[in-house]
């Protein structure tokens, strides 16, 4: 509570927008204080714990000024990004705390006993209303994000019936909003929710980081490319040519080798070369073809960010990399699920920038 009050003073003094972390902190403080009133009920008739009893009765009054601060922070995010189930639950929890703060403050002024059964009753009522009918969290979030997606498509002068397409160009801000709303509808409400807006999408469409490419959107050129990412566009089809054997998940960066203790292997990434060492053998694969493809991909630039990126969806045949030893024998295979390439920003203006290489790779390593 002390930290929240100090932050509230800072917000009022500087006029800055409250951060997104405010509402979870207010909810945490409210739950601890209000549930404490219920759990510590026996102390209210005990003279020895009069101080604790007074503190518990004062908690609702202390929470009362913080509820508008939390709603302010949530309102800013709702205006910018819209309703989601998670934001709805946050708002519902803050509203419940606000109701209890008012009721508890009234009791404090009247010198009444602290809140008891009112606490679980109010939370139960608010959460029940949040789960039922057209005002429920799923219904509100789906309706809001659907309307937002349609509005963004209209703003970009895109007929959703023509998507997916290969020639629709949008600015980076519109691209990000369309991709974000599409990804949310697909993740939270299923393909049917997204097909209600874009009817020609196949049932196998999955949510990926490069959702804009799935919809066929293209960005207008926005400057020099800094980094690029590829993601496996797997929609249930078989990964043909995959050898049988032991499978292990691997996450590699150019600066950090991976010790796969479960299968007795060590994997390293140096420039564009992926190397795996086992007991008495080692094998390598050249990731340069993937790097070259990612580096020539359409660009994505988001306002407010210095870096420019590109995104590529990798088909299963492209994502399968075979590692061979010095004699050419296939020793292992890697199904790439995510790969990043780039040219890091120099730390100082005069520093020499290293060339473009594979920086990170994640996937499933198969060893026969």
> What are the pLDDT digits (tens) for 7-25?
889 888 888 878 888 889 9
Examine the pLDDT at 233 and tell me if it is beyond 80: no
pLDDT band at 305 (very low <50, low <70, confident <90, very high): very low
> What distance in Å separates the CA atoms of residue 8 and residue 20, rounded to the nearest whole number?
13
Contact 70, 27 (CB under 8 A): yes
> What are the pLDDT digits (tens) for 159-187?
998 888 866 888 777 888 898 899 999 99
Two tokens, residue 321: 């990399």
Examine the pLDDT at 205 and tell me if it is beyond 80: yes
Q: Rounded to the nearest 5 degrees, what angle is found at the Cα of 227, between the Cα atoms of 269 and 172?
A: 155
Instruction: Give the whole-number percent of the chain exceeding pLDDT 90.
Output: 38
Residue 303 is predicted with a pLDDT of 44
> What distance in Å separates the CA atoms of residue 195 and residue 160, rounded to the nearest whole number?
10
Q: Give the torsion sign (CA, 149, 155, 159, 165).
A: negative
pLDDT band at 224 (very low <50, low <70, confident <90, very high): low
> What are the pLDDT digits (tens) for 33-45?
888 877 887 777 7
Q: Which residue has the higher pLDDT, 226 or 272?
A: 272
Two tokens, residue 367: 């060893």
List Cβ neighbours of 262 (8 Å cut-off, separation of 6 or more): 248
Residue 220 is predicted with a pLDDT of 65
Q: Give the torsion sign (CA, 36, 38, 40, 44).
A: positive
Mean of the pLDDT values across residues 113-132? 88
Residue 189 is predicted with a pLDDT of 93
Examine the pLDDT at 304 and tell me if it is beyond 80: no
> What are the pLDDT digits (tens) for 189-203?
999 999 999 999 989
Q: For residue 317, what is the DSSP state?
A: H
């Amino acid at each position: 509570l002390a930290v929240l009050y100090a932050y509230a003073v800072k917000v009022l003094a500087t006029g800055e927008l409250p951060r997104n972390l405010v509402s979870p902190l207010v909810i945490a403080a409210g739950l601890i204080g209000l549930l404490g009133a219920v759990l510590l009920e026996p102390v209210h008739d005990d003279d020895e714990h009069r101080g604790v009893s007074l503190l518990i009765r004062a908690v609702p009054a202390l929470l009362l000024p913080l509820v508008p601060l939390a709603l302010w922070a949530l309102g800013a995010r709702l205006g910018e990004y819209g309703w989601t189930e998670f934001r709805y639950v946050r708002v519902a929890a803050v509203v419940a705390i606000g109701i209890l703060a008012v009721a508890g403050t009234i009791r404090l002024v009247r010198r009444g006993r602290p809140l008891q059964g009112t606490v679980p009753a109010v939370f139960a009522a608010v959460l029940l209303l949040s789960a039922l009918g057209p005002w429920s969290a799923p219904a509100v979030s789906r309706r809001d994000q659907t309307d937002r997606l349609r509005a963004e498509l209209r703003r970009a002068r895109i007929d959703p019936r023509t998507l997916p397409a290969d020639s629709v160009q949008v600015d980076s801000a519109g691209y990000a909003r369309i991709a974000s709303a599409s990804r949310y509808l697909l993740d939270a409400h299923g393909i049917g929710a997204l097909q209600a807006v874009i009817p020609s999408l196949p049932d196998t469409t999955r949510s990926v980081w490069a959702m804009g490419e799935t919809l066929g959107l293209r960005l207008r050129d926005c400057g020099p490319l800094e980094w690029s990412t590829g993601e496996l566009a797997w929609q249930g089809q078989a990964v043909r040519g995959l050898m049988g054997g032991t499978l292990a998940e691997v996450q590699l960066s150019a600066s950090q080798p991976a010790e796969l203790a479960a299968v007795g292997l060590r994997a390293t990434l140096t420039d564009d070369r992926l190397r795996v060492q086992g007991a008495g053998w080692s094998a390598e694969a050249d990731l340069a073809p993937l790097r070259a493809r990612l580096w020539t991909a359409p660009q994505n630039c988001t306002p407010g960010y210095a870096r420019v990126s590109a995104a590529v969806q990798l088909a299963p045949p492209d994502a399968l990399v075979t590692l061979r030893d010095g004699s050419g024998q296939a020793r292992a295979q890697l199904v790439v699920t995510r790969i990043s390439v780039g040219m890091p920003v120099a730390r100082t203006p005069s520093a020499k920038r290293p060339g473009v290489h594979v920086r990170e790779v994640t996937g499933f390593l198969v060893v026969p």
